[in-house]
Amino acid sequence: MLKLLFFCVSRLPLPLLHAIGGTAGAAAYRWAASFRRQIDANMAQAGYADPAMRRATAREIGKAMAEIPVIWLRPLAQVERLVRETRGWELIEAAQAAGRPIVFLTPHLGCFEITAQTYAARTAADKPITVLYRPPRQAVLAPLIQAGRGRPNMRLAAADLGGVRALMRALKNGEAAGLLPDQTPRFGEGVWAPFFGRPAFTVTLTRRLVRAGRAVVLLASAERLPHGAGYRLVVEPFDAALAEDETEAATQINHALETLIRRLPTQYLWNYNRYKIPPGVPQPPAAAANPA
């Protein structure tokens, strides 16, 4: 039943879905106190105090939810055509020409779901992308997510030991891997590193993947264009070599994400509890809580 509902919604025009989603997001910000508090607290931490900007953020979060059926369930070719403009694709072509694997870092910014799908649609079959994902807590959603994200030329790897091994294999085969670097990892999978001036438990897998596969690290984001016009895909280099120290490397990554987010602050998923302490993880040390 849920998949049928998603399928029907996916056939609606994107401008209509964004209009509905924006309205729903604005309503949620007004009436859902916990939703509003999370957005306000996280944006305040990053220095965004303008009420109008916070309301705009809520509308964009609503659009992000409304567009998911389109990105997951329309044919891949149709989804790819929603990307109206692309910047930095030559970085992907250069890495492939040099025989280098690629690690894509895609934060919860804009339509982050469309970045890996665009790569899968535009790349040869011998250069698939393996994407790390966290299985949903609600089991009923698992088949829907697998159908939506398991596209041709795109493989899914659950966020567990088996999934990490799948990513490693992909990189050793000269393929691409993608992950959400601002998703809070579990105990033993991260370190405390500053994110907008506050310690956030940050995944260390990126550094391990790069070292194992000699991979090129690229930042990928997809800006949501106004009035449901589609998306602008931007691929950028990760300029610095990742440090050997895990905390330093995590800090580098968070700084790069901050730069991306500050260019498009209203399209970041500020309602995500980025500063939560996962079970079993100790409180952040004073050095992380008060970075120099």
pLDDT over 70 at 102, yes or no: yes
Overall average pLDDT of the 7-30 stretch: 96
Q: What is the pLDDT of residue 140?
A: 65
Q: What is the pLDDT of residue 292?
A: 39
Structure confidence at residue 174 as a pLDDT band (50, 70, 90): very high
Structure confidence at residue 133 as a pLDDT band (50, 70, 90): confident
d(CA 15, CA 226) in angstroms, rounded, equals 9
What is the rounded average pLDDT for all residues in the chain?
91
Overall average pLDDT of the 19-36 stretch: 98
Structure confidence at residue 151 as a pLDDT band (50, 70, 90): confident
pLDDT over 80 at 213, yes or no: no
Q: Which fold has domain 76-289?
A: Glycerol-3-phosphate (1)-acyltransferase (3.40.1130)
Q: Where are the domains of the chain?
A: 76-289
Structure confidence at residue 286 as a pLDDT band (50, 70, 90): low
Structure confidence at residue 2 as a pLDDT band (50, 70, 90): confident
